[in-house]
Amino acid sequence: MTTTTVPAAPDTRLYLIALLSLTAVQALSTTAFNIAAVLAPAAAPTLGVSADDVAYYVSIVYLVSIGSAMAGGPMALRLGAIRLTQCGLAVSAAACLALASGHLALAIASAFVVGLGGGPLTAASSQVLARVTPPRLSNVSFSIKQSGVPLGFALTGALVPISVEHHGWQAVAVAIAGICLATAVALQPLRALYDGDGGRGGRLLPGMRQIIDPLKLAWADPVLRRLCLAAMFFSSMQVMIVNFTILYGVNGLALDYVAAGILLSFATAAGMFGRVLWGALADVTRRPLAVLALLGAIMAGGALALASAQPGWPAWLLYGVAVALGGSAIGWNGVFISEVARRAPPGRAGEFVGATSFFVFVGPVVWPVLYRGLLYVTHAYETGFVVMAAAAGVSALAILRLTRTGER
């Protein structure tokens, strides 16, 4: 049985420290996790590939993340959630350095490495937050923590293109690696607060049964089963926005590199605020499923609007569409994770969050490759947005049907 210094009753100090520090970690790990997509227009000539080929990189990252995320819950119990977070940041730093080398083989390898580093972090942070969060603040707390994801996207979209123009893309990748390592060191004092004796000990890597059992239990819950299927499409929409908005802006809407980065920043900043807003709404109304259904409907409408965009549209209109789409398609995750953690058996929130990450990551594994195929055939970025609008709309209807059976 794990010994921990965290008390059974939520402690306000421990809660606030965990919430703020884990949100910051989420933002940084997101930057490392997605840096290749933002650097693609600048890095592609050096690597000798097309910028659109970043789709394959993204699929590799998420494919590796499926396994590492599902293992994250059991690993957090053995190693300690904070120590696992430190290790994940160090591995992510190694991935950034491999990408910065400018060699295609090492850049491909970096996709595998960053998936190993970033995959377990959501499960690890959820394990801590589930222990110290007051129940009445569950949705908004997980949403605030997950707001670190769009915060990382927003900062990356706003700062990276400008930094690349001044210092070069390889220097930017090295700088992100350095920040990851410095943050891993800075987290060391938190181990005494949240890791206790450092975890259960024993074998670090879990057996297959320990990975599969939480997934089977989650799938057996009819509500979680439908939510997980919807999450595949919601996460596909999210990964398309994060990884293809800049390319769509440059190649489809005739924006320059910096302007396309700002468009991404608007979408992801809206997602950051949206995660907090939707989490608070779910807590106030106590109807998280209805909130998720609403989010699916908004992202369907936003995707159709962006697919209709044309070169020469006024900036305010493009930014407005980006805010609506980003606020929903990037804003759903906190409510989803909170619902998964709430339905998990006591003490197993991290395992359940890690297990259901299988569905969250399957979409980003498959969809970028399919989207790349659509681009090859149609040469139109907007086609993929139309397809994902339909998928999000169907998912919203499926979740709405749950609310009509009395689920909240």
Percent of the chain having pLDDT more than 70?
Answer: 93
Rounded CA separation 268/87 (Å): 26
Rounded CA separation 254/249 (Å): 6
For residue range 61-77, what is the model confidence (pLDDT) as tens digits? 888 888 888 888 788 87
Q: Which domains does the chain have, with CATH numbers?
A: 12-193+204-403 (1.20.1250.20)
User: Going by C-beta distance under 8 Å and a sequence separation of 6 or more, which residues neighbour residue 62?
Assistant: 115, 239, 361, 364, 365, 368
Rounded CA separation 182/188 (Å): 11
Rounded CA separation 346/211 (Å): 17
Radius of gyration, alpha carbons of the chain: 20
pLDDT at position 296: 96
Rounded (10°) angle between helices 104-118 and 12-47: 170
For residue range 71-123, what is the model confidence (pLDDT) as tens digits? 887 888 788 889 999 999 999 999 999 999 999 999 999 999 999 998 888 88
For residue range 280-313, what is the model confidence (pLDDT) as tens digits? 898 888 899 999 999 999 999 999 999 999 998 9
Which tokens sit at 191? 């181990």
Query: Averaged over 361-377, what is the pLDDT?
Result: 86
Amino acid identity, position 174:
V
Mean pLDDT of the chain: 85
